[in-house]
Chain A
Amino acid sequence: MKNVLRTSFPSISKNEALARGIAAQFTALLDPTVEELSDIRTAVSEAVTNAIVHGYGHPNGTVTMELTSEDGVVTAVISDEGRGIEDIELARKPFFTTMPEAERAGMGFAVMEAFMDSVSVDSAPGRGTRVTMKKKLGENAR
């Protein structure tokens, strides 16, 4: 059965924990393995952190997270209306970061790609960013 949850929250860093907690609870309804649950939680944390830190960099933005589950596939769409990404290919390269002084490791997209089955990024400068990630859960998943 299809399930959908849509939530929006301000771009404050405390909400990274809130968002990944919600994503974990949503996924838990499908009876995932511990590893699947951890993968989705981590990937969502990365995408939400990117929206907060890079998309906005201030607390007055809005981040939207839409979670869908259908036929054992979890889809997480994280979007912001922030500054957007100029060169998506470059941004996705491991260890590339625009904020070395803030010790951003440049691993966010690499982690999302490693932990999810697919990651797509839709972004343009000044027009925000939308990250869509999918993961098919194993046979245990309902």
Chain B
Amino acid sequence: MRLKTKKQGRTLVASLSGELDQHSAEQVRYELDSILEDDSIKRIEFDLKGVTFMDSAGIGVILGRYRKLAPRGGSMNVLNASPGIERILKMSGVYRLVSERSAR
């Protein structure tokens, strides 16, 4: 699993590639949380384009980061999921929490 991050204004773009499971989730969570300590970040965008496998551990990572941002009025988006991963995202209700609007 590889994580690349880019801060654009108040938005953190997290581009993931490889396999996201319970094993790899721990590192991703740790890295993202240390970046999210910067409370000027109000929005996170997960770019899953390079993710070749994801199970429900990935849902934990996405929802966990959203919960961190929500108290500061934050938002999130999840982009470029493959059809298989999209099914899991839909089942878990992640798409109900995303917003297309970028952070002001």
Contact = CB atoms under 8 A, between A and B. Distances in A.
A68 interface: no
Contacts of B59: 105, 107
Interface string B5-41: 0000000000000010111011001000000000000
A105 B63 contact: yes
Interface stretch (B42-50, B73-81, B85-93): B85-93
Nearest to A108: B56
Contacts of B63: 103, 105
Contact of B23 (A17, A41, A94, A115): A17
A103 B21 contact: no
Nearest to A102: B60
Interface residues of B, number: 22
Given A105-B92, A108-B56, A110-B91, A49 B22 contact: yes
B70 interface: no
B57 A49 contact: yes
Nearest to B54: A42
Contacts of A17: 19, 21, 23
A42 B55 contact: yes
Given A14-B23, A46-B55, A103 B91 contact: no
Given A103-B61, A105-B92, A111 B22 contact: no
A49 B55 contact: yes
A45 B21 contact: yes
Nearest to A97: B60
Contacts of A16: 21-23
Contacts of A13: 21-23, 26
A62 interface: no
7 nearest A-B residue pairs (beta carbon): A103-B60, A13-B23, A107-B56, A105-B59, A38-B84, A103-B64, A105-B60
